[in-house]
Amino acid sequence: MGQITRLLAAILTCASLLAACTSHRGAGNISPSGYAYNEAVATTKSEQLLLNLVRLKYRDPIVFMDVDGITTQHQYVFALSAENFLPFQNASRGGSTLIPGASVSETPTTVYKPLDSSQFAQDLLAPITPDTIVLLANSGWSVERLISCCIERIGPLSNAASVSGPTPAVIPDNYEFRQLASLLRGLQQQERVWIDRMKGDEGIGTYLVIDSDEGNSCAALLELLNTSECDMEFRLVAKDSGRQSDPHYAQTRTVLGALYALSHAVQVPPEHLQAGLTTQSAITSSRTPDWPTYLGGVFAVQSGESEPSGTAVKIFYRDHWYWIDDRDLDSKTTFNLVTFLLVLQSAASDGASPLLTINAGG
């Protein structure tokens, strides 16, 4: 009877523990799982963006998927076993010990939403709006980075419209444009350059305003922009505005054009170039010897046969690895900028596509 009594007491104790664990399991499991899923979603989005940039370099189709939701199921299993110290004798003469056990399993289910609606396609092909540039500029982003990625022309200086599509046969020489972007960054750090909605010479609009001094920056601006005044303003207009040649306007790229511009800076393995899998662009000027230089050094993607270490993001494609080095702060910052740009541009497409549900536990 004593053995049975101890067994019943152990069962009741385990049942009490089960009730306690059941009533408080949320506090112990939701928080750690949330952190893990946050990390997983961030990694997935980064890898997807890098993969699509590499696809553009190879002129392959691009696909964007959005994580629409994550649900999890927790299963708790409790067990109780008895072990006899004298297995060949009667249980009443031997001694036994009760061993409780428990296990927890988690089954996550992820819901993906393909961003392939006609609205998203239009957003991707649409020019970057001046309002988007204002939001990014007023959030602390470098004007040099914004100009290098998102602006196709400022006044008489072109950032080469040919790079807003598949990799061209030659690398355009945008040396003067890069000089202007660098100069404006220096003035921005002195709070002498800003982008905002305001009333200008042609009414209310979005303007790039330059308030230069009378020093070296002024002389450089006069030479680059072929103007007689150091204080000037350029109205931001979309690519299809019809005002591209106006010296007082700055023209934005399309969102897809900005992605294409960055994709040119993907390093392609030599064997892929030799096989003609991508365009090998000719150099027209020693001032712009490669695509990372064309982008002002703000973005570059490396490649290799072996899996790299110390990366911010990496993907495996066409039997090679492509990655952004974790120490390449400029490339990481530009990569984050494009992430924000896509979020702003695709906001109108939310909920427009069918859902794909994948059980990650099976």
Q: List Cβ neighbours of 53 (8 Å cut-off, separation of 6 or more).
A: 259, 262, 263, 266, 301
User: Stretch 3-15: mean pLDDT, rounded?
Assistant: 54
Q: Are 202 and 246 in contact (CB under 8 A)?
A: no
**What does the pLDDT read at residue 22?**
47
Task: Provide mean pLDDT across the span 244-265.
Answer: 87
Give the mean pLDDT of 101-112: 62
Inter-axis angle of helices 130-137 and 143-150, to 10 degrees? 150
pLDDT confidence of 194, banded at 50, 70, 90? confident
Q: Could you tell me if 289 and 178 are in contact, meaning their C-beta atoms sit under 8 angstroms apart? A: no
Q: Which two tokens stand for residue 2?
A: 């004593």
pLDDT band for position 225 (50/70/90)? confident
Percent of the chain residues topping a pLDDT of 90: 40
pLDDT tens per residue across span 283-341? 999 999 999 999 999 999 999 999 999 999 999 999 999 999 999 999 999 999 999 88
Residue 35 has pLDDT above 60, yes or no: yes
357 or 140, which is more confident: 140
Better-scored residue on pLDDT, 221 or 294 = 294
Please say whether the beta carbons of 199 and 313 come within 8 A: no
| Rounded-to-integer distance, Cα 46 and Cα 63, Å | 13
Mean pLDDT in residue range 146-159? 91
pLDDT top residue among 82 and 345: 345
State the pTM of this model: 0.76
Predicted confidence band at 132 (pLDDT cuts at 50, 70, 90)? confident
Which tokens belong to 283? Answer: 């150099």
Show me where the domains of the chain are located: 118-359
Instruction: Please measure the distance between the N-terminal and C-terminal CA atoms of the chain and give it in whole angstroms.
Output: 46
What pLDDT, on a 0 to 100 scale, did the predictor assign at position 227? Answer: 80
Helix, strand, coil percent content, the chain, rounded in steps of 5:
40, 30, 30
- State which of 56-70, 92-106, 231-245 shows the largest mean pLDDT: 56-70
102-114 residues labelled b (16+ CB within 10 A) or e (exposed):
eeeeeebebebbe
Which tens digits make up the pLDDT trace of 273-282? Answer: 999 999 999 9
With a cut of 90, say whether residue 68 has pLDDT above it. no
State which of 57-61, 94-98, 102-106 shows the largest mean pLDDT. Answer: 57-61
Q: Give the pLDDT confidence score for residue 352 in this predicted structure.
A: 39
Going by pLDDT thresholds of 50, 70 and 90, the confidence category of residue 63 is confident
Mean pLDDT over the full length of the chain: 79
pLDDT of res. 97? 61
Ranges 15-24, 27-36, 53-62, 308-317: which has the least confidence: 15-24
